[in-house]
Chains A and B, each alone.
Chain A
Amino acid sequence: MSALTLKLKHSLSQRLDMSPFTPAHLAGKKVGEIASIPLWLGNRRVDAAELFAIDGKVTDQIVIQSESDRLDGIGAGMTSGKIMIEGKAGAYLGCGMRDGTIQVSGNVGVAAGCAMQGGHLEIAGNAGDFLGGAITGERQGMRGGIIILKGDAGDRAGDLMRRGTILIGGNCGDYCVSRMVAGTMVVLGQCGEQAGMAMRRGTLILTRPPVSMPATFNDNGRHHLNFLTLLIQSFKDQPPFSNLAERGNQVHRWLGDLSCGGQGEILICY
């Protein structure tokens, strides 16, 4: 077995802070040292070995096997390498990550990719609220990198997003890209209520109209937008998002939120 593998031994009664387990933090450590890394479980500190069966050797890849949704902060602040999660992840997945890759086969909790600055976050299941959002109290959410979500997202996806790209293959909850500052989000499924509320700039690309959008959005009409060709080309290795190319680059464009400058756009590709 090449990659370091952490297998959760039993279900957790409290939430567990997994942020110490990043490839950069573990680099150069022996398996024995990793086993004794203290982790916060609720308000207690326990050794990693009490919770995980640790196997493999230390490389720039980590495999986490868990069916618990209480493993929080996986890959937080990550700067390199790859974390593969076979199962579920808790809240704050990839929070503030700068580079590297995180892949999750299952669902993830709230605030995945929040304050993310770079790297690649790929989720095969669903995500909770505030995907790519901001750390509570901060003024900027995601500001770089790409999040690819194959399933559905909760409410407030892309809240306060500043830069980067979020691709959502399923549906999206209410207040999608609320307070967005800049960046790009694509939703292939249905978008909920009040999409784009208080967005200042940035682009939300949809394949169908949202359930509702604020009254402070104006109809800008139909347009051929050349940049969409380049944008969609950049998804060429990311099905089903690459299928957007079949829709051409003519979109129906809405501009808003006029209560916040109105430089944001919702593009509906028919």
Chain B
Amino acid sequence: MIINGTEIEDTFAEAFGMSATRVIITAINHRWALIAGETMTGFATSVIGCGVEADIEAEIAPDKTPDGRPGVSVLLFGMSGKALAKQLETRVGQCVLTCPTTALFAGIDGEKRIPLGKNLRFFGDGHQISKQIDGTRYWRIPVMDGEFLCEESVARIPAVGGGNFLVLAETQQQALSACERAIEAMRKLPNVIMPFPGGIVRSGSKVGSKYKALMASTNDAYCPTLRGLVDTRLGPDIGSVMEIVINGLSDADVKFATRTGISAVCELGAAAGIRRISAGNYGGKLGQYHFHLREVMA
């Protein structure tokens, strides 16, 4: 399959089942809601080293938030409900509770709940106040700028993490420009995040390493500086490869985001140096979700 001169490789992205949740942070203005969201989702690119994968999903207008103030929605993905709950509590406690003027609400419904204000309330040292409004419990925790309002708990749902595609270009600048374009289009979609810096990964990994202590190492088959030394997947026309990793609340969300991203890249096409679109997988044995690129783009 070739779109606008760019080859869509006959391969698939391999993704995994994860546990996800959505929280809504509001603040006195969008600037402070964004600061809280960005702080909370800092160092959250990969579950391997960060414990959770998280990013801001979208900005929310005041008329769409629970307390009528500007807000952002944040998606967090963990490998298990327990790991997700631990990371959520830590990040909310250190990054949202501490951030001026913020309030925190659940952004997703479901039966399985993880704590939000349930444990954070103890920061109030006995002065915290519970309020049940329309069947939902909120905690009012006294803080130095007034009160931190926080919903008692939030749902967690099964989700999909690790959807991906690789952009193979002639130069580093061309790969980056194409990926930036893809991210701009994908960030408009609901229910997905691209958790790596700016949404783009330049250090894709393979499973295993020559060093026993490492469980993953550089994806040498796609490193242009190793061409001629290892079993490379890059032809002589490829000078740079970048990856976009996608986490979504469902496989349909990941599939649509993949299609949106690849379409944006292919609009640039071969004329902009974009030679090939590929995807990362582990032979199909590890992940329960397979996104075949040609099916996605059909």
Contact = CB atoms under 8 A, between A and B. Distances in A.
B33 interface: no
B131 A203 contact: yes
Contacts of B56: none
Contacts of A223: 146-147
Main SS at interface, chain A: mixed
A227 B131 contact: yes
B198 interface: no
A201 B131 CA distance: 11
Contact of B129 (A229, A234, A263): A263
A140 interface: no
Contacts of A184: 131
B127 A227 contact: no
Contact of B127 (A163, A182, A225, A263): A263
Interface in B121-160: 127, 129-134, 138, 140, 146-147, 149
Interface string A189-229: 00000000000010100000000000000000001111101
A226 B131 contact: no
Contacts of A1: none
A229 B133 CA distance: 11
A163 B132 contact: yes
Contacts of A226: 67, 69, 103, 146-147, 149
A203 B66 CA distance: 21
A227 B149 contact: yes
A230 B132 contact: no
A201 B129 CA distance: 8
A230 B66 contact: yes
Q: Which of B67, B131, B138, B147 has the most CB of A within 10 A?
A: B131
A201 B67 CA distance: 23
A27 interface: no
Nearest to B103: A226
A37 interface: no
Contact of B131 (A224, A231, A233): A231
Contacts of B131: 184, 203, 227, 231
B68 interface: yes
Contacts of B103: 226
Given A184-B131, A234-B133, A234-B134, A229 B146 contact: no
B127 A229 contact: no
A184 B131 CA distance: 8
A235 to B, nearest CB: 10
B146 A224 contact: yes
A233 B67 CA distance: 9
Interface in A253-269: 263, 265
A225 B134 contact: no
Contacts of B129: 201, 203, 263, 265
A227 B140 contact: yes
Nearest to B136: A230
Nearest to B135: A234
A263 B125 CA distance: 12
A231 B67 CA distance: 9
Contact of A230 (B127, B133, B146, B147): B133
B67 A182 contact: no
Contacts of B146: 223-226
Contacts of B138: 227, 230
B27 to A, nearest CB: 10
Interface string A226-251: 11011101100000000000000000
A221 to B, nearest CB: 11
A227 B146 CA distance: 12
A229 B69 CA distance: 10
Contacts of A201: 129
A141 to B, nearest CB: 16
Contacts of A263: 127, 129
Given A227-B140, A229-B67, A230-B138, A182 B130 contact: yes
A163 B131 CA distance: 9
A231 B133 contact: yes
19 contacts: A184-B131, A203-B129, A203-B131, A223-B146, A226-B103, A226-B147, A227-B131, A227-B133, A227-B140, A227-B147, A229-B67, A229-B68, A230-B67, A230-B138, A230-B149, A231-B133, A233-B68, A234-B134, A263-B127
Interface of B: 66-69, 103, 127, 129-134, 138, 140, 146-147, 149
Q: Which 3 A-B pairs give the minimum distances between C-beta atoms?
A: A226-B149, A229-B67, A234-B134
Given A227-B133, A231-B131, 15 more contacts: A182-B130, A184-B131, A201-B129, A203-B129, A203-B131, A223-B146, A225-B140, A226-B146, A227-B131, A227-B149, A230-B149, A233-B68, A234-B134, A263-B127, A263-B129
